[in-house]
Structure 1
Protein backbone atom coordinates (compact mmCIF):
# COMPACT_ATOMS: atom_id res chain seq x y z
CA UNK A 1 0.00 0.00 0.00
CA UNK A 2 1.39 3.36 -0.96
CA UNK A 3 1.57 6.32 1.36
CA UNK A 4 -1.31 8.03 -0.37
CA UNK A 5 -3.46 4.93 0.08
CA UNK A 6 -3.20 4.94 3.89
CA UNK A 7 -6.76 5.40 5.18
CA UNK A 8 -7.29 8.44 7.39
CA UNK A 9 -8.54 7.67 10.86
CA UNK A 10 -11.01 9.72 12.80
CA UNK A 11 -9.27 11.99 15.32
CA UNK A 12 -10.95 10.11 18.15
CA UNK A 13 -9.11 6.91 17.24
CA UNK A 14 -5.78 8.75 17.01
CA UNK A 15 -5.81 10.53 20.34
CA UNK A 16 -8.29 8.46 22.26
CA UNK A 17 -11.93 9.06 23.00
CA UNK A 18 -11.25 10.41 26.50
CA UNK A 19 -8.77 13.02 25.28
CA UNK A 20 -11.07 14.08 22.46
CA UNK A 21 -13.96 14.52 24.88
CA UNK A 22 -11.75 16.71 27.11
CA UNK A 23 -10.69 18.89 24.18
CA UNK A 24 -14.31 19.35 23.08
CA UNK A 25 -15.32 20.28 26.62
CA UNK A 26 -12.65 22.97 27.03
CA UNK A 27 -12.50 24.17 23.43
CA UNK A 28 -14.64 27.31 24.08
CA UNK A 29 -12.34 28.31 26.94
CA UNK A 30 -9.25 27.76 24.80
CA UNK A 31 -10.67 29.91 22.01
CA UNK A 32 -11.64 32.62 24.52
CA UNK A 33 -8.14 32.62 26.02
CA UNK A 34 -6.59 33.10 22.59
CA UNK A 35 -9.04 35.85 21.66
CA UNK A 36 -8.50 37.73 24.93
CA UNK A 37 -4.73 37.40 25.03
CA UNK A 38 -3.24 40.90 25.53
CA UNK A 39 -1.56 42.48 22.56
CA UNK A 40 1.98 43.72 23.04
CA UNK A 41 2.30 47.23 21.62
CA UNK A 42 5.56 47.92 19.91
CA UNK A 43 7.73 50.71 21.31
CA UNK A 44 8.08 53.82 19.14
CA UNK A 45 10.50 53.14 16.31
CA UNK A 46 13.85 54.90 16.72
CA UNK A 47 14.42 57.96 14.57
CA UNK A 48 16.56 57.05 11.52
CA UNK A 49 19.83 58.97 11.18
CA UNK A 50 20.44 61.34 8.26
CA UNK A 51 24.02 62.28 7.38
CA UNK A 52 24.69 65.98 7.88
CA UNK A 53 21.50 66.56 9.87
CA UNK A 54 20.48 66.47 13.51
CA UNK A 55 17.13 64.71 13.62
CA UNK A 56 14.90 63.42 16.36
CA UNK A 57 11.45 63.09 17.86
CA UNK A 58 9.91 64.67 20.95
CA UNK A 59 7.44 62.58 22.95
CA UNK A 60 5.79 62.60 26.34
CA UNK A 61 6.27 59.84 28.90
CA UNK A 62 3.41 57.86 27.32
CA UNK A 63 5.23 57.85 23.98
CA UNK A 64 2.89 60.32 22.28
CA UNK A 65 4.51 62.82 19.87
CA UNK A 66 4.57 66.48 20.89
CA UNK A 67 4.22 69.21 18.28
CA UNK A 68 5.53 72.75 18.68
CA UNK A 69 8.64 71.98 20.75
CA UNK A 70 11.60 74.25 20.03
CA UNK A 71 14.94 72.54 19.34
CA UNK A 72 18.20 74.49 19.50
CA UNK A 73 21.60 73.35 18.25
CA UNK A 74 24.48 75.30 19.79
CA UNK A 75 27.86 75.15 18.04
CA UNK A 76 30.46 74.60 20.76
CA UNK A 77 33.25 76.33 18.81
CA UNK A 78 31.64 79.13 16.83
CA UNK A 79 29.72 81.75 18.82
CA UNK A 80 26.37 83.14 17.68
CA UNK A 81 25.85 80.23 15.33
CA UNK A 82 22.82 78.61 16.93
CA UNK A 83 20.36 76.79 14.72
CA UNK A 84 16.78 75.96 15.64
CA UNK A 85 13.76 73.98 14.50
CA UNK A 86 10.21 73.26 15.64
CA UNK A 87 8.67 69.81 15.88
CA UNK A 88 5.84 68.93 13.50
CA UNK A 89 2.57 67.12 14.25
CA UNK A 90 4.48 63.82 14.56
CA UNK A 91 6.93 65.38 17.03
CA UNK A 92 9.78 65.29 14.50
CA UNK A 93 12.45 67.89 13.77
CA UNK A 94 15.44 68.24 11.42
CA UNK A 95 18.41 70.65 11.58
CA UNK A 96 21.04 70.98 8.84
CA UNK A 97 24.54 70.97 10.43
CA UNK A 98 26.58 70.52 7.28
CA UNK A 99 27.72 74.14 7.66
CA UNK A 100 30.35 73.34 10.32
CA UNK A 101 32.41 70.27 11.23
CA UNK A 102 32.50 71.05 14.95
CA UNK A 103 30.36 69.57 17.71
CA UNK A 104 26.82 70.77 18.35
CA UNK A 105 24.95 70.59 21.66
CA UNK A 106 21.21 70.11 21.30
CA UNK A 107 18.58 71.36 23.75
CA UNK A 108 14.79 71.46 23.60
CA UNK A 109 11.93 73.32 25.25
CA UNK A 110 8.18 72.89 25.11
CA UNK A 111 5.94 75.92 25.53
CA UNK A 112 2.93 75.14 27.71
CA UNK A 113 -0.19 77.27 27.52
CA UNK A 114 -1.59 78.15 30.92
CA UNK A 115 -4.45 80.62 30.75
CA UNK A 116 -3.02 83.61 28.91
CA UNK A 117 0.51 82.63 29.86
CA UNK A 118 3.08 80.71 27.85
CA UNK A 119 5.81 79.05 29.88
CA UNK A 120 8.69 76.95 28.62
CA UNK A 121 9.66 73.61 30.12
CA UNK A 122 13.07 72.06 29.42
CA UNK A 123 12.99 68.62 27.79
CA UNK A 124 15.40 65.76 28.41
CA UNK A 125 17.48 63.97 25.77
CA UNK A 126 17.18 60.20 25.72
CA UNK A 127 20.91 59.86 25.13
CA UNK A 128 23.85 62.14 24.41
CA UNK A 129 22.98 65.74 23.59
CA UNK A 130 26.14 66.32 21.52
CA UNK A 131 26.38 65.65 17.78
CA UNK A 132 29.37 66.05 15.41
CA UNK A 133 28.82 68.56 12.61
CA UNK A 134 28.63 67.42 8.97
CA UNK A 135 28.15 63.88 10.28
CA UNK A 136 24.91 64.59 12.14
CA UNK A 137 23.08 62.27 14.47
CA UNK A 138 19.88 61.50 16.33
CA UNK A 139 18.79 63.27 19.52
CA UNK A 140 15.34 62.29 20.77
CA UNK A 141 13.71 64.13 23.67
CA UNK A 142 11.09 63.25 26.28
CA UNK A 143 8.88 65.61 28.26
CA UNK A 144 8.95 64.58 31.92
CA UNK A 145 9.68 66.19 35.27
CA UNK A 146 13.36 66.91 35.75
CA UNK A 147 14.85 64.79 38.54
CA UNK A 148 15.35 66.83 41.71
CA UNK A 149 18.83 66.75 43.24
CA UNK A 150 20.53 68.55 46.10
CA UNK A 151 22.43 70.62 43.54
CA UNK A 152 19.26 71.49 41.60
CA UNK A 153 16.13 71.07 43.75
CA UNK A 154 13.82 73.15 41.54
CA UNK A 155 12.92 70.83 38.65
CA UNK A 156 11.61 72.15 35.34
CA UNK A 157 7.93 72.81 36.06
CA UNK A 158 5.99 74.96 38.52
CA UNK A 159 6.92 75.44 42.16
CA UNK A 160 4.56 75.75 45.12
CA UNK A 161 6.43 77.93 47.60
CA UNK A 162 5.63 78.26 51.31
CA UNK A 163 6.36 80.82 53.98
CA UNK A 164 5.16 81.00 57.58
CA UNK A 165 3.03 83.89 58.70
CA UNK A 166 5.32 86.40 60.43
CA UNK A 167 2.98 86.47 63.44
CA UNK A 168 2.89 82.68 63.87
CA UNK A 169 5.39 82.00 66.65
CA UNK A 170 4.25 78.52 67.63
CA UNK A 171 7.46 76.64 68.45
CA UNK A 172 5.88 73.27 67.63
CA UNK A 173 5.87 74.13 63.93
CA UNK A 174 8.19 71.79 62.03
CA UNK A 175 8.37 72.00 58.22
CA UNK A 176 9.66 68.44 58.04
CA UNK A 177 6.33 67.20 59.40
CA UNK A 178 4.14 69.21 57.04
CA UNK A 179 2.13 67.39 54.38
CA UNK A 180 0.47 69.14 51.46
CA UNK A 181 -2.34 67.83 49.27
CA UNK A 182 -2.54 69.24 45.73
CA UNK A 183 -5.84 68.43 44.01
CA UNK A 184 -6.19 69.62 40.38
CA UNK A 185 -9.22 71.72 39.53
CA UNK A 186 -9.94 71.38 35.81
CA UNK A 187 -7.43 70.58 33.09
CA UNK A 188 -3.74 71.19 33.61
CA UNK A 189 -1.36 72.88 31.18
CA UNK A 190 -0.34 69.54 29.65
CA UNK A 191 -3.97 68.81 28.76
CA UNK A 192 -4.47 66.08 31.37
CA UNK A 193 -6.82 66.00 34.35
CA UNK A 194 -3.92 65.17 36.65
CA UNK A 195 -4.47 63.51 40.01
CA UNK A 196 -4.42 64.49 43.66
CA UNK A 197 -1.01 64.11 45.29
CA UNK A 198 0.20 64.27 48.88
CA UNK A 199 3.68 65.77 49.09
CA UNK A 200 6.11 67.22 51.60
CA UNK A 201 7.92 70.52 51.01
CA UNK A 202 11.70 70.39 50.68
CA UNK A 203 14.15 72.97 51.92
CA UNK A 204 16.04 74.92 49.24
CA UNK A 205 18.00 78.13 48.93
CA UNK A 206 14.69 79.82 48.10
CA UNK A 207 12.88 78.45 51.15
CA UNK A 208 10.48 75.53 51.55
CA UNK A 209 8.76 74.44 48.35
CA UNK A 210 7.31 71.62 46.27
CA UNK A 211 8.99 71.39 42.83
CA UNK A 212 7.86 69.91 39.52
CA UNK A 213 4.16 70.74 39.79
CA UNK A 214 2.34 70.88 36.45
CA UNK A 215 0.90 74.34 35.84
CA UNK A 216 -2.80 74.58 36.56
CA UNK A 217 -5.37 75.41 39.21
CA UNK A 218 -5.28 73.40 42.44
CA UNK A 219 -7.19 73.05 45.68
CA UNK A 220 -4.42 73.06 48.29
CA UNK A 221 -4.66 71.80 51.86
CA UNK A 222 -1.87 71.31 54.38
CA UNK A 223 -1.45 69.70 57.77
CA UNK A 224 1.14 69.44 60.53
CA UNK A 225 1.09 66.06 62.28
CA UNK A 226 -2.50 65.67 61.08
CA UNK A 227 -3.51 69.11 62.35
CA UNK A 228 -4.95 71.31 59.55
CA UNK A 229 -3.03 74.44 58.65
CA UNK A 230 -4.49 77.64 57.28
CA UNK A 231 -3.26 79.00 53.96
CA UNK A 232 -3.52 82.11 51.86
CA UNK A 233 -1.90 83.49 48.77
CA UNK A 234 1.27 85.37 49.61
CA UNK A 235 1.09 88.93 48.32
CA UNK A 236 3.10 92.08 49.04
CA UNK A 237 0.21 93.59 51.03
CA UNK A 238 -0.80 90.27 52.69
CA UNK A 239 -4.48 91.18 52.81
CA UNK A 240 -5.81 87.80 51.67
CA UNK A 241 -7.95 85.87 54.19
CA UNK A 242 -6.68 82.55 55.58
CA UNK A 243 -8.57 79.36 54.74
CA UNK A 244 -8.05 75.66 55.36
CA UNK A 245 -8.30 75.14 51.57
CA UNK A 246 -6.67 77.51 49.14
CA UNK A 247 -7.78 77.31 45.51
CA UNK A 248 -5.66 79.06 42.93
CA UNK A 249 -2.99 78.79 40.27
CA UNK A 250 0.46 79.99 39.29
CA UNK A 251 1.37 83.67 39.00
CA UNK A 252 4.37 85.92 38.44
CA UNK A 253 4.01 87.69 41.78
CA UNK A 254 7.65 87.46 42.79
CA UNK A 255 9.42 86.58 39.54
CA UNK A 256 9.04 88.17 36.09
CA UNK A 257 10.20 84.96 34.42
CA UNK A 258 8.80 82.11 36.54
CA UNK A 259 5.23 81.10 37.29
CA UNK A 260 4.95 80.04 40.92
CA UNK A 261 2.29 79.52 43.55
CA UNK A 262 3.39 81.41 46.66
CA UNK A 263 1.49 80.64 49.88
CA UNK A 264 1.64 81.70 53.51
CA UNK A 265 0.74 79.17 56.18
CA UNK A 266 -0.05 79.33 59.87
CA UNK A 267 -1.40 77.21 62.69
CA UNK A 268 -5.02 78.12 63.51
Structure 2
Protein backbone atom coordinates (compact mmCIF):
# COMPACT_ATOMS: atom_id res chain seq x y z
CA UNK A 1 0.00 0.00 0.00
CA UNK A 2 2.86 2.34 0.74
CA UNK A 3 4.29 1.72 -2.71
CA UNK A 4 1.12 2.68 -4.52
CA UNK A 5 0.95 6.00 -2.67
CA UNK A 6 4.54 6.84 -3.63
CA UNK A 7 3.82 6.16 -7.31
CA UNK A 8 0.82 8.41 -7.31
CA UNK A 9 2.88 11.25 -5.91
CA UNK A 10 5.50 10.74 -8.62
CA UNK A 11 2.97 10.86 -11.41
CA UNK A 12 1.36 13.89 -9.91
CA UNK A 13 4.68 15.64 -9.69
CA UNK A 14 5.53 14.97 -13.32
CA UNK A 15 2.22 16.23 -14.49
CA UNK A 16 2.70 19.45 -12.57
CA UNK A 17 6.06 19.96 -14.26
CA UNK A 18 4.65 19.40 -17.73
CA UNK A 19 6.73 16.43 -18.51
CA UNK A 20 3.93 13.89 -18.67
CA UNK A 21 1.57 15.45 -21.30
CA UNK A 22 3.87 16.97 -24.08
CA UNK A 23 1.97 20.35 -24.06
CA UNK A 24 3.66 23.82 -23.79
CA UNK A 25 2.34 27.05 -22.29
CA UNK A 26 1.43 29.90 -24.85
CA UNK A 27 4.00 32.70 -25.30
CA UNK A 28 2.67 36.01 -24.01
CA UNK A 29 2.58 38.85 -26.68
CA UNK A 30 5.38 41.37 -26.75
CA UNK A 31 4.43 44.75 -25.26
CA UNK A 32 3.74 47.45 -27.93
CA UNK A 33 6.02 50.48 -28.02
CA UNK A 34 4.08 53.75 -28.60
CA UNK A 35 5.26 55.85 -31.60
CA UNK A 36 5.67 59.66 -31.66
CA UNK A 37 2.50 61.64 -30.87
CA UNK A 38 0.66 62.92 -34.00
CA UNK A 39 -0.74 66.55 -33.91
CA UNK A 40 -4.49 66.86 -33.84
CA UNK A 41 -5.95 67.95 -37.23
CA UNK A 42 -6.74 71.67 -37.50
CA UNK A 43 -10.46 72.41 -37.86
CA UNK A 44 -11.51 73.78 -41.26
CA UNK A 45 -12.25 77.54 -40.80
CA UNK A 46 -15.79 78.63 -41.49
CA UNK A 47 -15.79 81.49 -44.04
CA UNK A 48 -17.07 84.81 -42.70
CA UNK A 49 -19.98 85.95 -44.86
CA UNK A 50 -19.94 89.54 -46.12
CA UNK A 51 -22.32 91.42 -43.83
CA UNK A 52 -25.48 92.54 -45.55
CA UNK A 53 -25.81 96.33 -45.84
CA UNK A 54 -28.06 97.93 -43.27
CA UNK A 55 -31.47 99.05 -44.48
CA UNK A 56 -31.05 102.29 -46.37
CA UNK A 57 -27.32 101.82 -46.90
CA UNK A 58 -25.86 103.29 -50.10
CA UNK A 59 -29.11 105.13 -50.72
CA UNK A 60 -30.10 108.76 -50.30
CA UNK A 61 -33.73 109.72 -50.44
CA UNK A 62 -35.85 112.71 -49.57
CA UNK A 63 -38.49 115.19 -50.66
CA UNK A 64 -38.56 118.73 -52.08
CA UNK A 65 -41.40 121.05 -51.07
CA UNK A 66 -42.27 124.72 -51.22
CA UNK A 67 -42.62 126.82 -48.09
CA UNK A 68 -46.35 126.16 -48.18
CA UNK A 69 -45.78 122.40 -48.31
CA UNK A 70 -46.51 121.84 -52.00
CA UNK A 71 -44.40 119.12 -53.66
CA UNK A 72 -42.07 120.13 -56.48
CA UNK A 73 -41.83 117.67 -59.36
CA UNK A 74 -39.01 117.44 -61.90
CA UNK A 75 -36.29 118.90 -59.66
CA UNK A 76 -32.92 117.27 -60.30
CA UNK A 77 -31.03 116.02 -57.24
CA UNK A 78 -27.32 115.12 -57.40
CA UNK A 79 -25.28 113.14 -54.86
CA UNK A 80 -21.50 113.58 -55.22
CA UNK A 81 -18.71 111.61 -53.54
CA UNK A 82 -16.52 114.04 -51.61
CA UNK A 83 -13.23 112.42 -52.75
CA UNK A 84 -13.72 110.63 -56.07
CA UNK A 85 -16.48 113.00 -57.29
CA UNK A 86 -18.48 110.03 -58.48
CA UNK A 87 -22.06 111.16 -58.68
CA UNK A 88 -25.61 109.93 -59.11
CA UNK A 89 -28.76 111.84 -60.04
CA UNK A 90 -32.52 111.51 -59.85
CA UNK A 91 -35.56 113.73 -60.42
CA UNK A 92 -38.42 114.25 -58.03
CA UNK A 93 -41.76 112.64 -58.83
CA UNK A 94 -45.23 114.17 -58.58
CA UNK A 95 -45.04 113.95 -54.77
CA UNK A 96 -41.66 115.69 -54.72
CA UNK A 97 -39.84 112.48 -53.72
CA UNK A 98 -36.53 111.18 -55.04
CA UNK A 99 -34.21 108.20 -54.45
CA UNK A 100 -30.58 107.82 -55.56
CA UNK A 101 -28.77 104.47 -55.38
CA UNK A 102 -25.09 105.10 -54.56
CA UNK A 103 -22.07 102.97 -55.58
CA UNK A 104 -20.85 100.77 -52.72
CA UNK A 105 -17.58 102.58 -52.06
CA UNK A 106 -16.11 103.96 -48.88
CA UNK A 107 -16.37 107.65 -48.16
CA UNK A 108 -18.93 110.39 -47.73
CA UNK A 109 -21.40 112.11 -50.02
CA UNK A 110 -22.89 115.58 -50.52
CA UNK A 111 -26.34 116.28 -51.96
CA UNK A 112 -27.59 119.30 -53.87
CA UNK A 113 -30.69 120.03 -55.96
CA UNK A 114 -31.23 122.17 -59.06
CA UNK A 115 -34.61 123.60 -59.97
CA UNK A 116 -35.14 124.94 -63.49
CA UNK A 117 -37.43 127.95 -63.81
CA UNK A 118 -38.64 129.72 -66.94
CA UNK A 119 -39.10 133.49 -67.03
CA UNK A 120 -39.79 135.47 -70.20
CA UNK A 121 -38.99 132.43 -72.31
CA UNK A 122 -35.61 131.87 -70.66
CA UNK A 123 -34.59 129.07 -68.32
CA UNK A 124 -32.82 129.87 -65.07
CA UNK A 125 -31.36 127.23 -62.77
CA UNK A 126 -31.69 127.56 -59.00
CA UNK A 127 -29.32 125.71 -56.68
CA UNK A 128 -30.89 124.38 -53.47
CA UNK A 129 -29.13 123.10 -50.36
CA UNK A 130 -30.77 120.42 -48.19
CA UNK A 131 -32.18 121.25 -44.79
CA UNK A 132 -29.35 119.14 -43.27
CA UNK A 133 -26.38 120.25 -45.34
CA UNK A 134 -23.66 117.91 -44.05
CA UNK A 135 -21.87 115.01 -45.78
CA UNK A 136 -23.00 111.49 -44.87
CA UNK A 137 -21.35 108.06 -45.03
CA UNK A 138 -22.55 106.03 -47.99
CA UNK A 139 -22.58 102.81 -45.93
CA UNK A 140 -25.18 104.39 -43.64
CA UNK A 141 -27.31 106.13 -46.25
CA UNK A 142 -29.26 109.28 -45.48
CA UNK A 143 -32.45 111.27 -45.87
CA UNK A 144 -32.01 114.77 -47.28
CA UNK A 145 -35.07 116.99 -47.64
CA UNK A 146 -35.24 120.38 -49.37
CA UNK A 147 -37.52 123.41 -49.07
CA UNK A 148 -37.76 125.97 -51.87
CA UNK A 149 -38.14 129.38 -50.22
CA UNK A 150 -38.79 132.80 -51.68
CA UNK A 151 -35.21 133.85 -51.01
CA UNK A 152 -34.05 130.96 -53.21
CA UNK A 153 -35.70 132.51 -56.27
CA UNK A 154 -33.29 133.62 -59.01
CA UNK A 155 -33.05 137.40 -59.08
CA UNK A 156 -31.99 140.23 -61.27
CA UNK A 157 -31.63 143.99 -61.17
CA UNK A 158 -33.77 146.76 -62.59
CA UNK A 159 -31.90 149.66 -64.19
CA UNK A 160 -33.50 152.96 -65.12
CA UNK A 161 -32.67 155.70 -67.61
CA UNK A 162 -34.14 159.17 -68.03
CA UNK A 163 -35.19 159.95 -71.56
CA UNK A 164 -35.51 163.44 -73.04
CA UNK A 165 -38.14 165.27 -71.04
CA UNK A 166 -39.11 168.88 -70.47
CA UNK A 167 -39.66 168.25 -66.76
CA UNK A 168 -37.10 166.69 -64.43
CA UNK A 169 -38.23 163.54 -62.65
CA UNK A 170 -38.40 163.84 -58.88
CA UNK A 171 -36.64 160.70 -57.68
CA UNK A 172 -37.44 161.49 -54.06
CA UNK A 173 -41.12 160.79 -54.81
CA UNK A 174 -40.71 158.24 -57.61
CA UNK A 175 -42.71 155.05 -57.03
CA UNK A 176 -42.82 152.02 -59.31
CA UNK A 177 -45.45 149.29 -59.20
CA UNK A 178 -44.65 145.80 -60.51
CA UNK A 179 -47.52 143.43 -61.26
CA UNK A 180 -46.31 139.90 -62.16
CA UNK A 181 -47.62 138.58 -65.47
CA UNK A 182 -48.10 135.09 -64.04
CA UNK A 183 -46.11 133.71 -61.10
CA UNK A 184 -42.62 135.15 -60.82
CA UNK A 185 -39.57 133.13 -59.75
CA UNK A 186 -40.69 133.43 -56.14
CA UNK A 187 -44.04 131.92 -57.06
CA UNK A 188 -45.94 135.13 -56.38
CA UNK A 189 -48.56 136.92 -58.49
CA UNK A 190 -49.06 139.80 -56.05
CA UNK A 191 -48.29 143.35 -57.18
CA UNK A 192 -45.81 145.38 -55.13
CA UNK A 193 -44.80 149.05 -55.10
CA UNK A 194 -41.29 150.27 -54.32
CA UNK A 195 -39.64 153.63 -53.79
CA UNK A 196 -37.06 154.07 -56.53
CA UNK A 197 -33.75 155.44 -55.19
CA UNK A 198 -31.88 157.65 -57.59
CA UNK A 199 -28.83 156.10 -59.20
CA UNK A 200 -29.06 152.71 -57.56
CA UNK A 201 -31.65 150.76 -59.48
CA UNK A 202 -33.56 147.91 -57.86
CA UNK A 203 -31.49 144.86 -56.92
CA UNK A 204 -32.71 141.40 -55.96
CA UNK A 205 -35.90 141.43 -57.98
CA UNK A 206 -37.44 137.95 -58.47
CA UNK A 207 -37.15 137.10 -62.15
CA UNK A 208 -40.25 137.10 -64.26
CA UNK A 209 -42.42 139.22 -66.53
CA UNK A 210 -44.09 142.30 -65.03
CA UNK A 211 -46.53 145.02 -65.97
CA UNK A 212 -44.90 148.22 -64.78
CA UNK A 213 -46.36 151.63 -63.91
CA UNK A 214 -44.54 154.59 -62.36
CA UNK A 215 -45.37 158.01 -60.88
CA UNK A 216 -43.73 160.93 -59.15
CA UNK A 217 -44.98 164.17 -57.64
CA UNK A 218 -44.80 167.60 -59.19
CA UNK A 219 -46.14 170.62 -57.37
CA UNK A 220 -47.59 168.37 -54.66
CA UNK A 221 -49.62 166.40 -57.23
CA UNK A 222 -49.08 162.80 -58.24
CA UNK A 223 -48.15 162.49 -61.90
CA UNK A 224 -47.85 159.32 -63.95
CA UNK A 225 -44.78 158.70 -66.08
CA UNK A 226 -44.42 157.16 -69.50
CA UNK A 227 -42.25 154.02 -69.62
CA UNK A 228 -40.59 151.84 -72.21
CA UNK A 229 -38.22 148.85 -72.05
CA UNK A 230 -35.65 147.26 -74.30
CA UNK A 231 -38.12 144.72 -75.62
CA UNK A 232 -41.07 147.16 -75.67
CA UNK A 233 -39.58 150.37 -77.11
CA UNK A 234 -42.88 152.32 -77.37
CA UNK A 235 -43.64 154.65 -74.47
CA UNK A 236 -46.86 153.95 -72.61
CA UNK A 237 -48.36 154.60 -69.15
CA UNK A 238 -48.17 150.85 -68.51
CA UNK A 239 -45.66 148.51 -70.12
CA UNK A 240 -44.75 144.85 -69.91
CA UNK A 241 -41.12 144.32 -69.00
CA UNK A 242 -39.01 141.13 -68.98
CA UNK A 243 -35.67 140.32 -67.43
CA UNK A 244 -33.15 139.78 -70.19
CA UNK A 245 -29.60 138.40 -70.02
CA UNK A 246 -26.75 140.84 -69.67
CA UNK A 247 -23.11 139.81 -70.05
CA UNK A 248 -21.99 142.00 -67.12
CA UNK A 249 -24.92 142.13 -64.75
CA UNK A 250 -26.82 138.91 -65.33
CA UNK A 251 -30.60 139.12 -65.81
CA UNK A 252 -31.62 142.78 -65.99
CA UNK A 253 -34.74 144.79 -66.70
CA UNK A 254 -34.17 148.24 -68.23
CA UNK A 255 -36.80 150.94 -67.77
CA UNK A 256 -36.80 154.35 -69.49
CA UNK A 257 -38.77 157.20 -67.94
CA UNK A 258 -40.20 160.42 -69.30
CA UNK A 259 -43.01 162.79 -68.48
CA UNK A 260 -46.22 162.69 -70.49
TM range, normalised to the smaller chain?
Answer: 0.5 to 0.7
Aligned to 1:54: 60
Aligned to 2:141: 136
1:248 aligned to 213, 219, 241, which one? 241
* 1:202 Cα offset (Å): 7.7
State the secondary structure of the residue aligned to 2:201: strand
Aligned to 1:19: none
1:164 aligned to 161, 183, 202, which one? 161
TM-score in terms of structure 1 length: 0.60
The number of aligned residues is 202
Q: 5+ residue gaps in structure 2?
A: 1-54
Aligned to 1:4: none
* 1:231 Cα offset (Å): 2.2
CA contact (8 A) 1:145 1:157 kept: no
1:223 aligned to 215, 226, 229, which one? 215
Q: 5+ residue gaps in structure 1?
A: 1-48, 147-154
- Is the counterpart of residue 96 in structure 1 residue 86 in structure 2? no
TM-score in terms of structure 2 length: 0.62
Aligned to 2:193: 198
Aligned to 2:7: none
Report the RMSD for the aligned CA atoms in angstroms: 3.7
Alignment of structure 1 residues 18-167 onto 2, 5 Å: 50-79=56-85, 81-114=86-119, 116-146=121-151, 156-165=153-162
1:233 aligned to 229, 233, 241, which one? 229
* 1:84 Cα offset (Å): 1.5
What is the distance in 2 between the residues matched to 1:203 and 1:156? 25
